[in-house]
Structure 1
Amino acid sequence: MNKSMAAVLISATLAVSSPAGAHTEAYFDSIAAPHGGQMRMAGPYHLELVTKENEIVLYVMDHADNKISAEGGIGKAAFQVGKAKPKTSIKLESGGDNTLKGAGDFSITPETVVIVFVKLPDQEAQSARFTPLKPKSKTTAKKPAEKTGTGKESAGEHGGHHHHDH
């Protein structure tokens, strides 16, 4: 019995320490990004997109969220709404440290998708899709339920379906 318990513990440890390559959009949306933007994975990088009025800052990090120098790097951010072809694109250039920055006339709505292309010196070009204002499903689902009190009722409806095998 001790051997099987040890095997379970080892398996659980391996599952927790799985490669960072498994980061999904849902994972990134569930954590707070270091600069308050939205994070996505692009090849060997974690990219964080921060949009301000007419300015874009893209932070480049490795999978452990350590800064990667963007010196000499270039990029492009293309803005797409719905299925339409991207209307606006902004050139991104090294902004010092681990950032690529660009400025231009753009507006972002919850339907806006920002497709970012990044090319750092001696590295392959990478791309990532961002939806900076996309509502987080967790918060939008909870708020109305808390106000109306339906959250508790639905929890009660599902509470009777848990069965334990002995």
Structure 2
Amino acid sequence: MITFQPNKETSMLKKILAGLAAMLAASSLAFAHDDHAHDAHAHDHAPKHGGIVEHSSHHHLELVAEDGTLRLYVTDEAGKPEPVEGAKATATVLSEGKTEAVTLAHAGENRLEGTGSFKATKGTTVVVTLTLPDHGAEQARFRLD
């Protein structure tokens, strides 16, 4: 009969495997917590102005698009209005096979607006690039239904 006698190498291997298992368990819990928080977070923010809500890296953006007009409402991650004075924003509108650039300007506490000659039809895509003071550039893509 063969018996197993641990030595320094197997003892070290067991320690390494135990450490890896602990790190894997901790990272699994962290990801599970983040997924749960993100899921709850994503469901808390319905459109408040009849538009489409997308999440950028730090904000929730609600786009209201009508023929020739875009309104963008900006809120923080908690859903509170984010001041947009001093913000720079552009929208690239892809509609009916045409591309149009629209500059969005401050139009209220947390609202930016811009106009163009586009049609806001089903399937129109709008890509917004937003830079708020003291923030990096953020981008969000909207598709009209």
Please give the TM-score of this superposition, normalised by the length of structure 1. 0.60
In our comparison, the structure showing a higher alpha carbon Rg is: 2
CA-CA distance at 1:20 after TM superposition: 6.5
Segments of 4+ moved more than 3 angstroms: 14-17, 19-23
Distance 2:84 2:118 in 1: 23
Residue 131, structure 1, aligned to residue 143, structure 2: yes
CA-CA distance at 1:68 after TM superposition: 0.3
CA-CA distance at 1:115 after TM superposition: 0.4
> What amino acid maps onto 1:99 in structure 2?
R
Q: What is the number of equivalent residue pairs in this alignment? A: 113
1:50 is aligned to 64
1:94 is aligned to 106
Distance 2:40 2:134 in 1: 21
Structure with a larger share of its residues in strand: 2
1:79 is aligned to 93
Residue 36, structure 1, aligned to residue 78, structure 2: no
Please give the TM-score of this superposition, normalised by the length of structure 2. 0.68
Q: Which runs of 5+ in 2 are unaligned?
A: 1-32
Q: Which runs of 5+ in 1 are unaligned?
A: 1-13, 135-166
Residue 63, structure 1, aligned to residue 67, structure 2: no
Distance 1:111 1:16, change over 3 A: closer
RMSD value, Cα: 2.7
Distance 1:16 1:41 in 2: 15
Q: Does the 8 A contact of 2:95 with 2:119 survive in 1? A: no
Distance 1:74 1:21 in 2: 30
